[in-house]
Amino acid sequence: MSTEDNEGFMRVVRHIQDEVDFEPEYYNEAYLNRRISARMRRQDADTYDEYLSVLKDDPDEKEALMDSLTINVTNFFRNGKMWEALREVVQELTDNNRSVKAWSAPCADGREPYSLYMLAIDDRNIDESRLSVLGTDISDEALENARKGVYETTRTTDIGEELSLLDHPENYVDVEDNTFTVKPEVRRQIDFERHDLVQDGPKRNYDLIFCRNLLIYIDSEYKLPVFDTLTSSLKHGGYLVVGMTETVPQEIRDDFEPVSKRCRIYKYVPEER
Ligand SMILES: C[S@@+](CC[C@H](N)C(=O)[O-])C[C@H]1O[C@@H](n2cnc3c(N)ncnc32)[C@H](O)[C@@H]1O
């Protein structure tokens, strides 16, 4: 990026910091630039300053940029091989514990925590009555959608296909034309609440935590603090699942034993220090 472009880019970032409900400093520059450039193309803006004027004048663009920055792309059973490998982990946890606490952070529109609970009901070897599931996200809009549990098949998203890892999806989801609604008895089992993984600190005594497809966007300075939150929330011997292109930082890798390296499932076994 030329110096002039870089200055223009920084002006847009500062404006986001001041005026948009989003913390650009958490995320790496390459990511921010990709999302801003995508909006610039949509607005036919050739320079960052041209885009900044659009952003200042048009409240709809502020919304559109916010949507683009919060990247709440997700699927039911995203990375199916991971979910197949996870069956054994959830089975072991529910066999050995009276109650098992799982946390999907971030959960976007809820498909990840619903996947876990549906897998547990669908798999005869898992006792779902022992499982409680929490989904959290920074985006209130994503959480509102998660609580509703309504998903549409569109040109680019096939919800029926996403649910095909289940033997009996019809037991957990009502289908009408292209609309899939998670049944109330499944929805009731998942709690959703707002939580910012960078700022809001840990929770306690979790047996299983998913933190998938957020770390890739987070600036390196914030990765260790996020992992601090995750490990402080995990029981010793609990499990952590990260995204397929994400890794546990070198500094704390010894505290994790891979259960499946390929599927990014780790057991938390910190040495007493
Ligand atoms: C790509 S989705 C991942 C959803 C799901 N874990 C998956 O892998 O399919 C990323 C989510 O991270 C949320 N997010 C972004 N920054 C966050 C933060 N600081 N704390 C919590 N959630 C955050 C976004 O709102 C978005 O819903």
Q: What angle do CA 99, 104, 108 make, to 5 degrees?
A: 150
Spacing, Cα 182 to ligand 1 middle (Å): 21
Residue 109 Cβ inside 6 Å of ligand 1? The answer reads no
Q: Which residue type sits at 174?
A: D
Residues 17 and 101 in one domain: no
Residues 166 and 263 in one domain: yes
Q: What angle do CA 246, 231, 250 make, to 5 degrees?
A: 45
Residues 183 and 221 in one domain: yes
Domain endpoint, select from 50, 69, 88: 69
Range from 51-65, 166-180, 230-244 carrying the lowest mean pLDDT: 51-65
Buried b (16+ CB within 10 A) or exposed e, 169-200: beebbeeeeeebebeeebbebbebeebebbee
Q: What whole-number distance in Å separates Cα of residue 7 and Cα of residue 20?
A: 19
Please write the tens of the pLDDT for every residue from 117-130.
Answer: 999 999 999 999 99
Range of the domain at 233: 80-268
pLDDT of 87 strictly over 60: yes
The mean pLDDT value for 100-105 works out to: 98
Please write the tens of the pLDDT for every residue from 50-71.
Answer: 999 999 999 889 888 887 887 7
Residue 108 Cβ inside 6 Å of ligand 1? The answer reads yes
pLDDT of 21 strictly over 80: no
Asked if the structure places residue 273 within a domain, the reply is: no
Asked if the structure places residue 124 within a domain, the reply is: yes
> Is 195 strand, coil or helix?
coil
Mean pLDDT over each residue of the chain, to the nearest integer: 94
Asked if the structure places residue 104 within a domain, the reply is: yes
- Mutate which of 139, 157, 214 for ligand 1? The one with the most ligand atoms within 8 Å of its CB, which is 214
Q: Residue of the nearest CA to atom 14 in ligand 1?
A: 138
**pLDDT at 126 (0 to 100):** 96
Counting the structural domains of the chain, the total is 2
Asked if the structure places residue 75 within a domain, the reply is: no
Residue 112 Cβ inside 6 Å of ligand 1? The answer reads yes
Percent residues over pLDDT 70 in the chain: 99
Residues 53 and 126 in one domain: no
113 touches 145 (CB < 8 A)? no
